[in-house]
């Protein structure tokens, strides 16, 4: 397990380099220029050149990347061009909101999704299986910004149970968590069910029946355990989503968070913030994948022994 851990960790280095280079380069492919936004109409070309030089935007891209990467390793993501604050402090101010929303949404999707998937498999082809899986399919196809608006309309405006927007109190989290989490519930439930049905067809499950175990013992003690292997991988990938994937939902509920920060920075072409946010998301996805892989290795001895 330790050797596997080290191998997986070393693999992150090239992944990080490629990811950071893409993050750095991608904003330069976006049309628009922050200097244009800063200049007053009718400013002289000299003023423009002066500002470009001040922010180092006149240097070759490779040099800009090197300088940027060096700063990143020193915990400096630069200063926001429009907001004129250190990007690190902007990210740190917004990150807890995103973590709370994403983390709770992930926990909600995992627990409810696995439970529904397992129950649907156990009562396969019953009315429960059919109706729940149909509802879930519908839930998965509804765009979540629309679901968010619907939630606001019903539970906040009509019923008045929760705040419409903002992040001033804990109950303001309920509707965004449900909105983000429901899509995850649908995905996890479907993956759990499919994986359990596939496992249930294997020879060793037949042998467990022959051994005299009850269906419940077989499904909960063995089949679900196997089904969790793909589920854990998906949950690992979704950790990236914990950090900033809920971009549109933060916008719909007017919540602070990395998603909101990223969207406003994109509108203003505020390169350092965009880079900083994308880098955070990239790192989150990398770490999420790592956590998913390690969890799989902890659960499956064949992965630890390099058989898969």
Partner 1 sequence: MSLLAVDDLSVSIGMVPLLDRVSFSLDRGEVLGLVGESGSGKSLTAMTLMGLLPLIGGRITAGRVRFDGIDLTTLPEPAYRDLRGQRIALISQNPMTSLDPILTVGAQIDQASRLHAGLSAAAARARSLDLMHQLRIPEAVAIHGQYPHQLSGGMKQRIVIAMALAGDPDLIIADEPTTALDVTIQAQIIQILCDLVAERGLALLLITHDMGVVAQACHRVSVLYAGRGAETGPVHDIFARPRHPYTKALIGCIPREGQAPGTLVGIPGMVPTAFAYPKGCRYHPRCTAAAPDCRTEVPAGSIQGVGGSIVFCHHPLEVGHV
Q: Which residues bind partner 1 (CB under 8 A)?
A: 202-204, 206-214, 222, 225-226, 299-302, 305, 307
Select 123 or 204, whichever has its Cβ closest to partner 1.
Answer: 204
Judge whether 23 and 87 are in contact, CB under 8 Å.
Answer: no
Asked if 269 and 32 count as a contact pair (C-beta separation under 8 A), the reply is: yes
What is the torsional sign of CA 228, 233, 236, 242? negative
Report the distance separating Cα 135 and Cα 121, nearest Å. Answer: 15
Question: Smallest gap, in angstroms, from Cβ of residue 202 to partner 1?
Answer: 7
Q: Toward partner 1, which CB reaches closer, 146 or 204?
A: 204
**CB 126, min distance to partner 1, A:** 16
Q: Looking at beta carbons only, is 171 or 305 nearer to partner 1?
A: 305
Q: State in angstroms the smallest separation of the CB of 22 from partner 1.
A: 36
Gap between the terminal Cα atoms of the chain:
14
236/240 with CB nearer partner 1: 236
Residue closer to partner 1 (CB basis): 233 or 248: 233
Q: In the bound complex, what is the minimum distance in angstroms from residue 229's beta carbon to partner 1?
A: 8
- The distance of closest approach from Cβ of residue 218 to partner 1 in the complex, given in angstroms and rounded to an integer, is 10
- Residue 53 Cα to chain centre, angstroms: 36
CB of residue 226 vs partner 1: minimum separation in angstroms? 7
Instruction: Please state, in angstroms and rounded to a whole number, the distance separating the CA atoms of residues 30 and 36.
Output: 14
Query: Would you state the structure tokens that stand for residue 205, as one six-digit string?
Result: 């499950």
CB atoms within 10 A of CB 143: 10
Interatomic CA distance for residues 154 and 170, integer angstroms: 19
Measured on CA atoms in the order 140, 141, 146, 149, is the torsion positive or negative?
negative
- With CA atoms as reference, report the closest residue to 140 among 192, 103, 189, 177: 189
Q: Which is nearer to partner 1, 161 or 206 (CB)?
A: 206
Q: How far is the CB of 119 from partner 1 (least distance, A)?
A: 20
Question: Which of residues 41 and 307 has its CB atom nearest to partner 1 in the complex?
Answer: 307
Q: Using CA atoms of 286, 291, 295, 300 in order, give the dihedral in degrees to the nearest 10.
A: 20
């Amino acid at each position: 397990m330790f050797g596997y851990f080290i191998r997986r960790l070393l693999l992150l280095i090239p992944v990080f380099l490629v990811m950071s280079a893409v993050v750095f380069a991608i904003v330069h492919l976006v049309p628009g220029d922050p200097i244009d936004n800063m200049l007053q109409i009718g400013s002289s070309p000299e003023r423009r050149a002066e500002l470009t030089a001040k922010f180092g935007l006149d240097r070759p891209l490779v040099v800009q990347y090197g300088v940027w990467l060096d700063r990143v390793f020193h915990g400096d993501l630069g200063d926001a061009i429009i907001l004129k604050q250190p990007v690190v402090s902007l990210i740190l101010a917004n990150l807890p909101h995103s973590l709370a929303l994403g983390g709770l949404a992930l926990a909600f999707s995992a627990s409810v999704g696995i439970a529904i998937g397992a129950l649907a498999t156990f009562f396969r082809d019953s009315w429960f299986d059919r109706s729940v899986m149909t509802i879930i399919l519908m839930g998965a196809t509804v765009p979540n910004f629309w679901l968010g608006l619907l939630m606001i309309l019903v539970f906040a405006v009509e019923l008045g149970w929760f705040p419409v927007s903002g992040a001033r109190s804990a109950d303001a989290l309920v509707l965004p968590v449900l909105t983000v989490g429901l899509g995850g519930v649908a995905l996890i439930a479907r993956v759990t069910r499919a994986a359990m049905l596939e496992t249930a067809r294997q020879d060793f499950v037949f042998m467990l029946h022959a051994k005299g175990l009850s269906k419940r013992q077989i499904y909960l003690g063995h089949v679900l355990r196997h089904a969790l292997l793909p589920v854990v991988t998906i949950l690992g990938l979704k950790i990236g989503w914990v950090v900033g994937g809920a971009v549109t939902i933060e916008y719909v509920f007017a919540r602070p968070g990395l998603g909101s920060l990223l969207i406003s920075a994109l509108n203003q072409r505020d390169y350092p913030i965009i880079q900083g946010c994308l880098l955070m998301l990239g790192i989150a996805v990398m770490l999420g994948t790592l956590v998913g892989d390690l969890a799989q290795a902890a659960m499956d001895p064949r992965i630890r022994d390099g058989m898969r």
